[in-house]
Amino acid sequence: MITTLKIARVAGQGDGVAETDAGPVFAPLTLPGEMVRGEVVDGRMAAPEILEASPDRIAPVSPQYGDCGGCSLQHWASGPYLDWKRDQVIATLARERIETDVEATVAVPAGTRRRLALHARRLEDGRVVLGFKARKSWRLVEVSACPVADPRLVAAFPGLGRLAAAFLEHPKSAPTLHVTWTLDGLDVDVTGVERRSGGLSGDRQMQAIRTARETDIARLSLTGETLMMARQPRVLFGPATVALPAGGFLQAVPEAEAAMTARAVAAVKGAKKVADLFCGAGTFTFPLATVAGVLAADASAPGIAALKAAVGSAKGMKQITAEARDLFRRPLTPYDLKGCEAIVFDPPRAGAAEQTAQIAETKAAVVVGVSCNPQTFARDARVLIDAGFRLETVTPVDQFLWSAHVELVGVFRR
């Protein structure tokens, strides 16, 4: 049945919501106050027609918008869009009975994302295409332009398409090219290649290596194993130049990384020793080392090795000690953290429940939590607050532009 509804709000995943007697109805790509019409099936209006547009509606800038699943909020004006992200953080904290000062969302410009995960598929006509998954579907949307991405990544799409062909040897392979722009050019790590049939053949490996050289890729790796390296991909973390491990973690947008590290450094100033937990290859470690000695720990042995190797690349830093350690299975204890007057932790989306319980028992005066998941951050924050910390401030960061995703930095003090 065709129904006309008024959108009341935007939900956490970015869909508009109309409240009805039968329950909420979700309508993608809609805004509060809009009148929409369409068929409702199982509480969802899949293809809403906009009858009355919100004054906050703007023209999207991506040619794939509406089909590509990468951006769900490109039609929303910047001001209310950023306010909505802040409101999402406030609501998430409230569910854990947490009230604090939540600052305005830090915006990032378009065209600044240095990391993309490009899916590759071979069409029936034999052509290999790259793209992103469609909204709520496994279908691939071919992408030739992306306003979110660094233009240097977009310029590389044709060469990356040729490269992807080598990894489509097996019909069950569904390769994803994890592409990063570094100081030394493109770093490409490929996942999703069928392994049960023997993995990539020698001929296809040689084809991939040859294409990578022809397209001037700095390094090509397969699930973290280097196939070809013309130049060691490097990145800057504060004053240090770090050799990025193959397949290693890196914040997606340099401007977002800078905003988060600046707030972490400001919060720990005055401390003589700081712990940096879930440190990766040193995203926060090196900026923190400009103001205090740092104890760094992470489960990634290649990340810790890269961090240690980069210690000599910068001047003016305090002492850095680094350890490869699984902080989920073996969290650092209050004994391990003795002498750390401040602690910074930046865990994966699952949060850091085990490590947070240990942090709560330390004598640290300041804790900085960096998170890509407000839900698990709120859960961990409740543990610290119950142990006597006060959540002083939270800063949302819009690292993934025009998506429902929001990152944040929270500062706790005893």
405/280 Cα distance (integer angstroms): 21
Task: State whether residue 151 is helix, strand or coil.
Answer: helix
Distances (CA, A) of 387 to 134, 330, 383: 44, 21, 6
Gap between the Cα atoms of 278 and 298, Å rounded: 5
**Identity (one letter) of the amino acid at 351?**
G
Element (DSSP H or E) covering residue 274: strand 273-277
Residue 132 contacts residue 70 (beta carbons within 8 Å):
yes
397 within 8 A of 81, measured Cβ to Cβ:
no
The catalytic residue among 68, 146, 279, 372 is 372
The b-or-e profile of 14-28 (16+ CB within 10 A means b, else e) is bbbbbeeeeeebbbb
Give 367: exposed, middle or buried? Use CB within 10 Å, 0-12, 13-18, 19+: buried
Dist. CA 407–CA 105, nearest whole Å: 9
Cα end-to-end span (Å), the chain: 57
Q: Is 279 a catalytic residue?
A: no
| Catalytic machinery residues | 372
